[in-house]
Chains A and B, each alone.
Chain A
Amino acid sequence: MGQEAVVAQSISKLYNGVGALDSVSFTVRSGEAYAFIGPNGAGKSTLFNIIAGVMKPSSGSIRVLGGSPFDPSTRIKISYLPATPPLYPWLTVMENVDFYASLYGFNKNTVRQEAKRLLETLGVQELAAKLSSKLSTGQAKLASIVLALAVEAELLILDEPTTALDPAMRRSIIDLLRERVSKGVTILMATHIVDEAEGLANRVAVMDKGRVIADGGVEELKKLYAPPAVLVIKPGLEHVENAYAALKNRWVTVYSHDGEVRIHTDDPDGDLPKAILILGEKGIRVLSVSVVKPTLEDVFFKLTGRKLGE
């Protein structure tokens, strides 16, 4: 890590007078994995379109790999995966790979070999000869990841790369991305799956309503914005809302997420019995209780008062 791969200064973007990005500034160093987390509509995709040279900012400046992303000689070093799989339905996956490789001017066979290797690593080599129109949503996502990784790029820009994939496949993708980072490739990734960001990123930017509201290392952000511990209470699915209602006024930060109620606490040993008692008084059956370390989801909630999925 050393040189700056991406330098964004006060980037703003207006769509028909409505602000999508509001004075966004950040720096990503070469060889770094940098994740943007934030809910839908936070401005992540707009920011990525600007970094990839597809869209111009309304104001501010952007430097990518030492040049302008609007210059084709810079874009030859960038591989961008938009959120929607950019596949031509009448071409096979490998033909899509060939087509995009030719736009870069790369050697077709080299790119094909790499695509083949990636498909084999992911255990989906049969997709190579399959027409894109015949792919399932998850398969299309995998194919488009292969498309993005097969070209030799210095900067990978990945917008929600693992959406629609099962957890095992997500882990495989994260492993592939780690491999790239270890080879000095810079990765920018937008996601609202916090495990992914935590598992891959050296640094994270938290985005909300077109702004970067915090950025730093994962642990640094947790230290700054998350409590020392989080109580995780799992009532039966039908009782989640009742449990949340019973607990929300007793602690400052309480929210329900994925069938559990999470309580931010400085004193987990003292607060745990209190929470169980309150739920017991209300007749709410608790399936499990645990004390866990905070995640980026907790950081985001602390910063915005909302969940990432909202």
Chain B
Amino acid sequence: MRTKPIVSFIVRDLKLMIRDKMFIFWLVAWPLIWIFMTAYIFVPPTGDGGTIMLNLGIVNLDSSQTPFNGSSLIKILGEAEYNGSKLFSLKLYHSEEEALQALRRGELDSVIVVPEGFGYAVINPVEKARLQAYVGSRTPESAQISSSIVIGFLERFSEELSFKRIEKAVNIVKGLPIPEEEKQWLNTALQSIMQPLDLTVEHISPEVFENRARTLGWYTIGAIGMMFLYFGFNSGAILIVSEKERGTLRKLFSTPLTEGEFLAGGFLSQLTILLISTLILILVGVSPAVGARIIIDPLNPVHLLAIAFMVCGALMSMSIGALISLLSKTVRGASGMGTVLGLLLSFTTGIWFPLEWMPQPVRLLAAIFPPAWSIEASRRILVFENIVEPLILDSVKIFSSTAVLLALALLTYRSRIKQYAET
């Protein structure tokens, strides 16, 4: 096999990469859009990804002239924060009916009605202070959230109130002629009645979301995988049919070019383009503008293996594209099918969205989809520096499936070349 024609194909297609705006869009701009959306919208540089602010309607019917009354409650609600962001956007209503109408119209997430005498009830230890809460939602998804937040807030408020009352009771008990041990026992008993369960809650994020830099590293590799899939499928699907439609196929095969040189040239040129695009995406990903954590040490053999996995991912995607070419006889059809299937599979096989988000039947797809294995294995090494996982098993799976898919692609292309040259 001669190298000169193969290099010519690479040069020819690199010129297309530089000169065709759509080419650059799909290769670089589209994955970058996703990386930047992740960096600035889904995992923003500050905060925790955005705290939900609920629209809360308040009907304050309390006119108590007490140190703590309905107005005090409204002030607390207005100032309630989570991670520096306000929890509630308050809107005051004069009547319960008016507030409930707004709730039904979907303008509010919840309504709290503070009844007359609330302030007196709060300071009177033998009376229960009543509050009425209505939980609604602006969207179906927010119902659970608003319920948890409003009820959680009010329960916490109720708890605080109980503590105050117990404190007062204990102070009264202290002045009574009761033996000191019994006073102590009574104090402890009252507190344990108030808080029978000492619950500690801790939030554990999945490893993927351990920190922002790794999250962005995860998504940067994901964007590369997504680009491999739709561009690889697309370029693999149109490799032969585009030459036919352009009228160049017959000219090519009237030269001394062999089928092997043509296929090697076509595959290597697309692979070169994919790897250049990969390099650009990684450089932008790790730049301060995005801040992804991706470690590539060229002296580390495991890192080199990860790069080999990525090359396999690209080759497998192009090979699957070759199989897609069997389904369409036109560039438009093959290209459309390649792009749509590529995007769909990148969204459902753990390449772009974490597999944990997928329902169980969809996860099976990732288990049988070899390009997803190569992306996942590369990600594990380059983002999480996890080299303890079974690399040998990964290597066998990834390299052997690449070989099988490449062989199928070559068989498909040979039959396509013969078919298109003949018609």
Contact = CB atoms under 8 A, between A and B. Distances in A.
Contacts of B20: 90
Given A15-B422, A49-B421, A84-B247, A102 B8 contact: yes
B255 A75 contact: yes
A80 B250 contact: yes
Interface string A10-39: 000001000000000000000000000000
B253 interface: yes
A237 interface: no
A20 B78 CA distance: 86
B8 A99 contact: yes
Nearest to A76: B256
B16 interface: yes
Given A72-B257, A103-B8, A88 B2 contact: no
B332 interface: no
Contacts of B4: 102, 105
A142 to B, nearest CB: 16
Interface string A65-83: 0000000110110111110
Given A88-B246, A102-B8, A103-B8, A73 B256 contact: yes
B248 interface: yes
Given A80-B251, A86-B247, A88-B248, A54 B421 contact: yes
Nearest to A83: B247
Query: Max chain B CB contacts within 10 Å: which of A73, A95, A102?
Result: A102
A79 B254 CA distance: 7
B250 A103 contact: no
A184 interface: no
Interface string B74-92: 0000000000000000000
Contacts of A72: 256-258
A82 B12 contact: no
Nearest to A78: B254
B115 interface: no
B205 interface: no
Contacts of A55: 421-422
Contacts of B252: 86, 103
Contact of A104 (B247, B255, B422, B423): B255
A90 B18 CA distance: 10
A52 interface: yes
B203 interface: no
B15 A90 contact: yes
B94 interface: no
Interface in A42-67: 49, 52-56
Nearest to B257: A103
Contacts of A105: 2, 4-5, 256
B248 A54 contact: no
A86 B257 contact: no
A131 B18 CA distance: 14
Contacts of B250: 49, 52, 54, 80, 82, 86
Contacts of A86: 246-248, 250-252
Interface residues of B, number: 26
Most buried by B among A55, A73, A85: A55
Interface string B233-258: 00000000000001110111111111
A7 interface: no
A86 B15 CA distance: 17
A54 B252 CA distance: 9
Interface residues of A, number: 34
A91 interface: yes
Given A49-B250, A52-B250, A55-B422, A100 B15 contact: no
A103 B256 contact: yes
A114 to B, nearest CB: 16
A89 B246 CA distance: 9
Interface in B10-39: 11-12, 15-16, 19-20
Interface in B256-307: 256-258
Given A90-B19, A90-B20, A105-B2, A52 B12 contact: no
B137 to A, nearest CB: 53
B254 A52 contact: yes
Nearest to A72: B256
A91 B251 contact: no
B12 A88 contact: yes
B3 to A, nearest CB: 10
Contact of A100 (B7, B246, B251, B421): B251
A89 B19 CA distance: 10
A103 B8 CA distance: 8
Nearest to B251: A86
Nearest to B423: A15
Nearest to A80: B254
A52 B249 CA distance: 12
Given A54-B421, A55-B422, A95-B15, A75 B5 contact: no
A53 to B, nearest CB: 6
A68 B172 CA distance: 114
Which of B256, B258, B421 has the most chain A CB atoms inside 10 A of its CB?
Answer: B256
A75 B256 contact: yes
B247 A82 contact: yes
B339 to A, nearest CB: 20
Nearest to A74: B256
A91 B15 contact: yes
B247 A103 contact: no
A52 B5 CA distance: 19
Contacts of A15: 422-423
Contacts of B12: 88, 91, 95, 99
A100 B251 CA distance: 9
Nearest to A95: B15
Counting from the closest, the 8 A-B pairs by CB-CB distance are A84-B247, A86-B251, A80-B254, A102-B8, A72-B256, A52-B254, A103-B255, A76-B256
Interface of A: 15, 49, 52-56, 72-73, 75-76, 78-82, 84-91, 95, 98-100, 102-105, 131, 157
18 contacts: A49-B421, A52-B250, A53-B253, A54-B250, A54-B254, A54-B421, A56-B422, A78-B254, A86-B247, A90-B16, A90-B20, A91-B12, A91-B15, A99-B8, A102-B4, A103-B255, A103-B257, A105-B2
Given A15-B423, A100-B255, A131-B19, 12 more contacts: A49-B421, A53-B254, A55-B422, A75-B255, A80-B251, A81-B251, A82-B254, A90-B20, A91-B12, A102-B8, A103-B5, A103-B8
